[in-house]
Structure 1
């Protein structure tokens, strides 16, 4: 169980002592984000318990938490269903991302340090290595960490919580585009644009780079 959970949680949190409830939530969310559990699929609680090697109570708590985040739907008299994906949902999500992620980068541009820049560059290099290896899941985990670090630099805990939910939802859509090698390369280039803008202290350039990153996702999604 420990190996499975350590592999699937956000790397930022993996160094912390996590409760069983938090482990269940993170491991369950990982399977939803990476589409191990397919959109529209009904889930049997016993099967999820077996998959994650975690007991019923933490799994039930994770289900309710993930339902509030829009990743699961609790259907009366039927059970739990993985939230379907639709283009309309994706377009709404993109609108929300544009507002919140550009705010995140704007705040980060005023607080970023050389240490942060080094950290972001290192993470993006790891994403590049995962891209070359065609390791989709590792790339997704590292991308999640990259954006979480940006949120941490911004230093607004409420915004960070909002972005965590938004990014989890967005990654389910992104997972459908990761067979597009060209888009995977674009993601790395776009991250570098954000990093270089932050390094230069140019807030306007940084927020424009963040918008370009989101619009790139939109174009790829609509052309898939």
Structure 2
């Protein structure tokens, strides 16, 4: 990874150095700026993130707990590898938790939140047209983060935050497929429309289709 500072969309608010290190490190992992299976040079990581040893060390332990890093005794810190088996397990977990999220969101969503979701999806479409992978990933993450917030269950939001971080590392491997990106945007719009119409069944079906479409994209990109 080159030594350009990793920036995150949240740096316009006051946050601690520990949180800053965590957010920058997490984004670098999610966007595959640090490659799965690679051992990390922690001095280089500190230079990349422009933060000191203590914040980076704390971030390492948080990210290991989230399954993005592995701490190996006498070997160092390794970026968690990616495997299709892991992806399929993740998809099973997503189906359960995201269907719960959409049920809660359907009961609580407001007109203003519908507008927010549409605005984020429009920015995702623009990023896709510009072939900007980082912007695409940020917009997709914001879309799902907004849905989790609308569901208004903090424990579920914590679970989804970890699941989405892991899922986005797999999704990053499919971003070169423009056709898949078009499908993602259409799928997001179907979820938004169902929520706007108060159609829970359609919202659940659209959510399930969106997750299974992710599985299909992974299988396609892997040649299976």
Cα deviation for residue 137 of structure 1 reads 0.5
Alignment partners' CA distance in 2, 1:18 and 1:222: 39
Structure 1: 5+ residue stretches without partners: none
Give the root-mean-square deviation of aligned CA atoms.
1.1
Aligned length: 218
Cα deviation for residue 84 of structure 1 reads 0.2
What is the match of residue 59 of structure 2?
A: 62
Under a length normalisation based on structure 1, what TM-score does the superposition of the two structures give? 0.95
The SS at the match of 1:159 is helix
The SS at the match of 1:110 is helix
What is the match of residue 177 of structure 1?
A: 174
Alignment partners' CA distance in 1, 2:103 and 2:115: 19
Alignment partners' CA distance in 1, 2:140 and 2:29: 16
What is the match of residue 25 of structure 1?
A: 22
Q: Is the 8 A contact 2:5 2:48 kept in 1?
A: no
Q: Does 1:120 align with 2:102?
A: no
The SS at the match of 2:108 is coil
The correspondence for 2:203, drawn from 203, 206, 210, is: 206
Alignment partners' CA distance in 2, 1:100 and 1:137: 25
Cα deviation for residue 16 of structure 1 reads 3.3
Deviations 1:16-62 (A, max 9, x none): 32111111001000010000000000001111001111000000000
Alignment partners' CA distance in 2, 1:14 and 1:114: 28
Q: Does 1:223 align with 2:220?
A: yes
Cα deviation for residue 4 of structure 1 reads 4.3
Worse-superposed segment, 83-92 or 14-23: 14-23
Alignment partners' CA distance in 1, 2:176 and 2:52: 34
Alignment partners' CA distance in 2, 1:15 and 1:37: 24
Under a length normalisation based on structure 2, what TM-score does the superposition of the two structures give? 0.95
Cα deviation for residue 223 of structure 1 reads 1.1
Q: Is the 8 A contact 2:87 2:170 kept in 1?
A: yes
Alignment partners' CA distance in 2, 1:124 and 1:49: 33
Q: Does 1:51 align with 2:48?
A: yes
Alignment partners' CA distance in 2, 1:147 and 1:116: 12
Structure 2: 5+ residue stretches without partners: none
Q: Does 1:191 align with 2:219?
A: no
What is the match of residue 107 of structure 1?
A: 104
The SS at the match of 1:141 is helix
